Amino acid sequence: MTATHTSAPKVPAPNVKQFTVKVKRQDKPDSTPYWDEFVVPYQPNLNVIIVLQWIAANPITTAGKEVAPVAWEAACLEEVCGSCTVNINGRARQACSTLIDVLLAEGPVVELAPLTKFPVIRDLAVDRQRMFDSLIAIKAWVPIDGTHALGQGPKESPPNQETRYALSRCMTCGCCLEACPQYTLDNSFIGAAAISQARYFNMHGTGKTLSDHRLTVLEGPGGITDCGNSQNCVKVCPKEIPLTESIASIGRQTTVHAIGKFFTGK
Amino acid sequence: MANSKPRVIVVGGGLAGLSATVKIAESGVPVDLFSMVPVKRSHSVCAQGGINASNEVARQQGYSEWMHVDETLYGGDFLQHQPPVYDMCHEAPKIIALLDRMGVPFNRTPEGNHDLRMFGGSLFKRTHFAGATTGQQLLYALDEQTRRHEAEGKVKKYEFWEFLWPVLDDSGVCKGIVAQDMRSMEIRAFRADAVIMATGGCGMVYGKSTMSVICTGGAAARCFQAGAWLGNPEMIQVHPTAIPGEDKCRLMSESARGEGGRVWVPRKKNDPRGPGEIPENERWYFLEEKYPKYGNLVPRDIATRELFFICQQGYGVGGGRMVYLDVSQLPMETKRKLAGILEIYEKFIGENPYEVAMRIFPAVHYSMGGMYTTYTGKPDGKGMVPGAPNNMSTNIPGLYAFGEVNYQYHGANRLGANALLNCIFDGLFNGPSVVNYVRDVVKAPADHTPSGAFDAIVSQEEGRMRRLLESKGTVNPYKLHARLGDEMTDACTVVREEGRLKQALENVRNMREEFKGVRLTDTGMWTNQNLSFARAVGDMLLYGEAIVLGALERRESRGAHYRIDYQDRNDEKFLKTTVAKFNPVTNSVRLEYEEVPLPLLQPRSRTYGAVETKAEKTAEAPATVAGKA
Ligand SMILES: Cc1cc2nc3c(=O)[nH]c(=O)nc-3n(C[C@H](O)[C@H](O)[C@H](O)COP(=O)(O)OP(=O)(O)OC[C@H]3O[C@@H](n4cnc5c(N)ncnc54)[C@H](O)[C@@H]3O)c2cc1C
Ligand code: SF4
């Protein structure tokens, strides 16, 4: 983060009374998707969640048909839980923090579709369990001796803390994976989020005791070598996590690790 | 005979649920962990400002664990039980050390120690923080430890499962739960020798609040109907500084003021100028003026009322219900520590708070009340007996309540940064009590409970679901919920009054009747979110009734509960816990009162060094009064 702060320019309020929202729907994991269209009354300060809530209370399509409310995931509504990630006008982002004014400045229709890199559960809700499984695979934790009172943790310099803090804000939202050309529904690439978490734990005084395991996993199939270096991930991460730095760092760590293994034969 | 293969169910994967899970799994008792969302997405991620604990620096300046106890009781207007608070504050430094070992990226001083910030209700820096996303960092640390136990097979997660009802055996002892898979909609019973409810707060009863959308209080309301009591349900915290929104009120953490942010309004009513154009001497820093000692960091109930009254007198920004919260004058170094929350303001409001004062207003934020719990106190009142099997047990044996859903610790008003502490404290300190209970107290393991007890609740819940799915009514659950929220917000937040509360009670009861006519637009059996929400609306209506009734019957003012018709605290009559009980026959809420024991500290008057007298409070303040530079 830089020492100054510049904010995004405010978009002017659009001059509309209502606008169209298209939602890509899918009733079941194995059923065929289809689109529903709704007309939603405009008011200032709308975001995509408010629109979905409005549709839930008024689930009538433009064709005048009453339909089931759209299914979607949400919890905190302040872009910190990661739940409500959907494709909004073709870009993966959080429904809560995506403002309608900004979308209407891009075009008259708001289009909502589920993430494509995860199996659809229903409508906009997808199954991101693979992301949590990846965290198990890389042992994304600090192996403490237990919860008994054993004194303080290691001291830490402010720069180290700042780097770790930036990495620790990953909310497992999946935007980086959605944007990644290498990550697909049916391959085994672990993706940027987990690679960055490996770096996070390898930076901690006690966490690094598991770095051998993490690097071995990331040297293997679906690991760091599957990264095609498109750098899309870092551009879409809503938490501005320095993902390409993390990938580079883990790249270096695996190289050193592999050389070490070669010489020690371990 | 000791229980040879005990099992514990934890419902809720916020800070309280996860710390309990880690502690219990570590002691060798397997845990089944239920949550409506992946635990990593629990509401605890929202917490911004920090977590309180006495520490070396504060200690050398005259602070102590005991002062933390004193502040917490004074802040809570003496309504809470003192022994649990005593333990919480004394354990706090150890909890911070443990979180540190788990890798929480707490902010650091140049030497590498924990940086600290000021928080409300204290004159000492004793709040530890990780940027302005402390809750997220703490939750992640516990999530990681939970995942470790999951990988080792000691914890089994049931995410996207909704708790529906506790299962009690013939003798009224809790033996498990009935829950629903939120995807397949399967309703199933799960056996356990003890169940810990760690389901968080009930902000959604107010329609919208600073809480996550899953914080309905539904789980607590279901336990309530099954016979668990509620304690002080009327004690709801309204946070002074939030950004009102259509979908939710987003919090601007107390840390903004802790780091030096100032609250002000233009001295001139309806001043048309923007905040940046109003010179210093034309700004009214009303909190600093009235509370020279605590300034902007008076406890929340007090700050909220001051903000509310200032706006009521017409001093709000543009004459409306908004005041300025200003961090623009702070050094960039300080603002960076607040980046996590300033980013929220910027994203949702589209203005740059680094340069322009933020516009904020109070919003419902926290439930001090919740499920009633008990404990075994030490004879001298200095804490609980560690590991006593009934610590934080509800009135139903085997059913525990931890975290925000537990009514303990905060009395009539919670101090900022004490909630994260209470959640983790519950898990770590009282988790062992649950282990002792399942190992030593449980005589008939849950495996031996006749299946009839479980089947009965499964069919009860299937019936409840079927009635909703098949209802031919006309009431839209979303609209009914919005009306409940409006009613609760209007009648039962900052200022409460007999007539309005009576009316609200009647209205909420009528809405409970109306609920019978709720019709779902989705009647399918796959990921039916409509069903889950509608069912929770029914539970929120009941919870709302308990809140309103509690507020109506507590004819005094104490902490967050401010009665305009009874403005003084009345210790003689109301230094008592409101105990709400549900009567299934009349389908209504009944209140009883229980004396609050005072083993450690006697109540004192709660002024925070205000320099104005009470009578002047509602009077029109002179617009020309000199500002504090
Ligand atoms: C915006 C905001 C900022 C805050 N900042 C601070 C702060 O800086 N410092 C501080 O001390 N406190 C703060 N608080 C308060 C604090 O965050 C909460 O009190 C605390 O996180 C509650 O944790 P919990 O574990 O009790 O519950 P939660 O974190 O709310 O978790 C509840 C869990 O229960 C589950 N659940 C609920 N119902 C069911 C059901 N029916 N079936 C299955 N599972 C269910 C949920 O899925 C979730 O996992 C803040 C609160 C808010 C709203
Ligand atoms: S790294 Fe960023 S984009 Fe990827 S999951 Fe984490 S927060 Fe989301």
> Count of domains in chain A?
2
Which residues are CB-neighbours of A213 under 8 A, at least 6 positions away? A138, A139
CB contact under 8 A, A157 and B38: no
Helix, strand or coil for residue B263?
A: strand
User: Is 90 exceeded by the pLDDT of residue A3?
Assistant: no
Q: In whole angstroms, how far apart are CA B4 and each of B21, B120, B391, B448?
A: 19, 47, 22, 12
**Residue A12, domain member (yes or no):** no
Q: Which of B108, B144, B479 shows the shortest C-beta gap to A142? A: B144
Distance B404 CA to ligand 1 centre (A): 7
**Catalytic residue list contains B300:** yes
Do A247 and A170 fall into the same domain?
A: yes
Do A152 and A258 fall into the same domain?
A: yes
Check if the beta carbon of residue A175 is closer than 8 Å to that of residue A238: yes
Do A136 and A221 fall into the same domain?
A: yes
User: Is 50 exceeded by the pLDDT of residue B280?
Assistant: yes
**Contacts for B336-340: CB closer than 8 Å, 24+ residues apart:** B336/A1, B336/A3, B337/B107, B337/B115, B337/B117, B337/B129, B337/B131, B337/B132, B337/B255, B337/B259, B338/B132, B338/B253, B338/B255, B338/B256, B338/B259, B338/B261, B339/A1, B339/B131, B339/B132, B340/A169, B340/B48, B340/B131, B340/B132, B340/B133
Do A38 and A111 fall into the same domain?
A: yes
**Chain B residues close to A140, C-beta within 8 Å:** 144, 147
Runs of H (alpha helix) within chain A:
48-57, 100-106, 129-137, 158-168, 175-179, 191-202, 211-219, 232-236, 243-264
A79 and chain B: CB distance < 8 Å anywhere?
A: yes
Do A139 and A238 fall into the same domain?
A: yes
pLDDT band for A266, please (50, 70, 90 cuts): low
pLDDT band for A251, please (50, 70, 90 cuts): very high
User: Ligand 2 atom 1: the closest Cα is on which residue?
Assistant: A193
Provide the mean pLDDT of chain B: 94
Q: Is A175 in the pocket of ligand 2 (CB under 6 A)?
A: yes
Q: Is A194 in the pocket of ligand 2 (CB under 6 A)?
A: no
Do A182 and A97 fall into the same domain?
A: no
Q: Which of A7, A11, A171 shows the shortest C-beta gap to B346? A: A7
CB contact under 8 A, B526 and A96: no
- C-alpha span between B338 and A1 (Å, rounded): 13
Q: Is B349 in the pocket of ligand 1 (CB under 6 A)?
A: no
For A27, the closest chain B residue by CA position comes to B526
**Residue A2, domain member (yes or no):** no
**Looking at residue B20, what is its pLDDT?**
98
For A6, the closest chain B residue by CA position comes to B352
ipTM: 0.96
pLDDT band for B126, please (50, 70, 90 cuts): very high
* DSSP secondary structure of B92-150: HHHHHHHHHHTT----B-TTSSBPEE--TT-SS--EE-STT-HHHHHHHHHHHHHHHHH
Distance B36 CA to ligand 2 centre (A): 22
**Residue A32, domain member (yes or no):** yes
- β-strand pairing of B588-595 with B236-243: unpaired
Distance B354 CA to ligand 2 centre (A): 25
Domain boundaries, chain B: 8-235+368-450, 239-363+608-618, 453-570
Which residues are CB-neighbours of B89 under 8 A, at least 6 positions away? B54, B65, B66, B68, B69, B72
Distance B167 CA to ligand 2 centre (A): 40
Of B299, B15, B283, nearest to B145 by C-alpha is B15
Q: Which of B300, B359, B509, B535 is catalytic?
A: B300
Do A197 and A228 fall into the same domain?
A: yes
User: Ligand 2 atom 4: the closest Cα is on which residue?
Assistant: A176
Q: Given A126, A153, A174, which residue is the final one in a domain?
A: A126
User: Is 80 exceeded by the pLDDT of residue B561?
Assistant: yes
CATH code, domain carrying A57: 3.10.20.30
Three-state SS string over B210-241 comes to CCCCCCCCHHHHHHHHCCCCEECCCCEEEEEE
**Residue A203, domain member (yes or no):** yes
Q: How is domain B453-570 classified at the CATH fold level?
A: Methane Monooxygenase Hydroxylase; Chain G, domain 1 (1.20.58)
Q: Is B489 in the pocket of ligand 1 (CB under 6 A)?
A: no
User: Is 80 exceeded by the pLDDT of residue B626?
Assistant: no
Nearest ligand 2 atom, CA A233:
3
B512-522 pLDDT per residue, tens: 999 999 999 99
Q: In whole angstroms, how far apart are CA A64 and each of A37, A41, A59, B149?
A: 10, 15, 9, 51
Q: Does domain B239-363+608-618 match CATH 3.40.50.720?
A: no
Do A219 and A140 fall into the same domain?
A: yes
CB contact under 8 A, B246 and A150: no
Q: Which of B37, B97, B105 shows the shortest C-beta gap to A151? A: B97
List, as ranges, residues 121-180 from A with C-beta within 8 Å of B: 121-122, 125, 128, 132, 135-136, 139-144, 146-147, 149-153, 155-158, 161, 164-165, 168-169, 171-172
**Residue A3, domain member (yes or no):** no
Which residues are CB-neighbours of A165 under 8 A, at least 6 positions away? B105, B107, B130, B131, B137
CB contact under 8 A, A96 and B247: yes
Do A102 and A148 fall into the same domain?
A: no
- C-alpha span between B507 and B502 (Å, rounded): 9
Sign of the alpha-carbon dihedral angle for B6, B12, B13, B14? negative
Q: Does domain B8-235+368-450 match CATH 3.50.50.60?
A: yes
pLDDT band for B245, please (50, 70, 90 cuts): confident
Q: Which ligand is nearest to the CA of B17?
A: 1
pLDDT band for A252, please (50, 70, 90 cuts): very high
**Residue A33, domain member (yes or no):** yes
Minimal C-alpha gap between A78 and chain B (Å): 7
**Looking at residue B618, what is its pLDDT?**
38
Maximal C-alpha separation, chain A:
71
Q: Given A82, A109, A126, which residue is the final one in a domain?
A: A126
User: Is 50 exceeded by the pLDDT of residue B613?
Assistant: no
| Domain hosting residue A93, numbered range | 18-126
Q: Given A78, A107, A126, which residue is the final one in a domain?
A: A126
% of chain A exceeding 70 in pLDDT: 95
User: Is 60 exceeded by the pLDDT of residue B427?
Assistant: yes
- C-alpha span between B43 and B257 (Å, rounded): 23
**Residue A185, domain member (yes or no):** yes
- C-alpha span between B38 and A81 (Å, rounded): 10
List, as ranges, residues 47-76 from A with C-beta within 8 Å of B: 47, 49-50, 53, 56-57, 59, 66-69, 71-76
- C-alpha span between B362 and B241 (Å, rounded): 5
Element (H, E) at B365: strand B358-367
User: Is 60 exceeded by the pLDDT of residue B193?
Assistant: yes
Do A141 and A251 fall into the same domain?
A: yes
Do A247 and A204 fall into the same domain?
A: yes
pLDDT band for B621, please (50, 70, 90 cuts): very low
List, as ranges, residues 175-214 from A with C-beta within 8 Å of B: 201, 204, 206-207
Check if the beta carbon of residue B402 is closer than 8 Å to that of residue B426: yes
**Residue A4, domain member (yes or no):** no
Do A258 and A180 fall into the same domain?
A: yes
A12 and chain B: CB distance < 8 Å anywhere?
A: no
Mean pLDDT across B498-509: 98
For B142, the closest chain A residue by CA position comes to A141
